[in-house]
Structure 1
Amino acid sequence: MKVEHPRLKQALAAEYVLGTLAGRARRRFERLLGVRADLRDEVRWWERRLAPLQHGFTPQTPRAVVWAAIEKQINAQTVTALPPPAGAAAPRGLRLWQAWALTATAASVVLAIGLARELNRPPPPAQLVRVEVPVFQPLPYVALLRPGESEVQWLVTLSPERRLIRITGSGKFPLDFSRESLELWVVGDDGTPRSLGVMPDDGDGEMPMPRGLTMPAKPTLAVSREPAGGSPTGLPTGPVITVSPALRAS
């Protein structure tokens, strides 16, 4: 048995759950269930889908001719007469059997209708599940800059991956900021200083890293005194007041 078409898988799984798949077809399907996870999933889906139907049945009594036809098919060798006229009492065992058979017939009809509706119902829309996976971010570089014996100091944090420089200052460096600025530099492995930008006047703030700047393997940070707005040459022109290596935070 090749069961690959989605509609065929649905129909076989539904008949299996209802109990209408019988004989060799049922045995072949049960063998496939042992090796096919997709068929087991289909069977479980139909079990969940059809289980609520059994709680909503209302017994219906079919006409006498319907019962006679059912009885004839159950036992072709026995001719079953129509029920006796009104007022005539039937044997108790026969009444119980008839009641059970009528209820089972009504249940089969309801299940068949429900199965037809489920097969024609479009599948539920796919649900997108968003899974957030944490992405590892390397720790930033950190350097503590302190000019000479001054009580002033700056904690500089560089995050190359975020292209961000954060400066936290303590104390105020004696400088006429209307005429001069403090400029932050990074010195690479080749000894060439590259400007990181003019430091905030109040000693605290954030600024973006310059475009195209690549952090050296062993960076060193330095601060120099420059004309207001920073060095006009792209290299330090005034005295360097503090130097410190920058290390990866741990």
Structure 2
Amino acid sequence: MIPHDLEPRRALIGEYVLGLLDEPQASEVRDLIESDREAARMTLEWERHLLDLTDQLSPQAPSPVLWERIQQTLGWSANAVAVTPKGFVRWWQSLGLWRLTSGALALLVLLSWLPGVMKPEAPGPSYTAVLQQPGESAQPGWVVTIDGDGALRLKSLVDDQIPEDRSVQFWTLIDPQDGPRSLGLIEPGQETMLSAEQIGAVQAGQLFELTLEPTGGSPLDRPTGPVLYIGRAVLIASN
């Protein structure tokens, strides 16, 4: 089963690229790569990363026993194939077949969504923040996630009852000297999505909070009501 969360899905795709999955699970991942843009991009990232690591290895000739097993596995016979272990290492070290098949196919899948793009950009870092009630109870109420494209998702874990003459406003703060910045009003209990353009720069330790404000939001450029939930961003993945 394909996980929904980003990091478990990224790890599963890494196992697929390494060839560690059994066929039923590998087939699921192949279908995902063909139908999901983000999965295709993750595949390219894994292949690029693993190829970079492989290129740093020095060639090693297999032992005669290992070379014989390789020939048997590939269905080669000593008379039919005039390839020496040393020659095999040079072929394998070049990784030409891998580059021309798995990498090219994954790239074609991605380009089918992005016409004219020759090289996809690697995603940026991703963050999460658990917003908790102030005080000793520290009850989690909301979860903030910022993906590699900079888009923010605000998901509720509670069902708060807000007075009709009040609004809940979403804020963020990076530098206290610059002051907080409003990210808009949110509906209690409902998931909110904001684009990278709306969010702006994000960094580890950045503050996010929800405050109770008058109807329509704070009359000032800062929170005026009590803090309902507050938390700081934590880096969960980087390039």
Structure with the larger RCO, 1 or 2 (CA within 8 Å, 6+ apart): 2
Category of TM-score, reference length = shorter chain:
0.3 to 0.5
**Could you tell me the TM-score, scaled by structure 1's length?**
0.41
Q: Which has the larger radius of gyration?
A: 1
TM-score after normalising by structure 2? 0.43
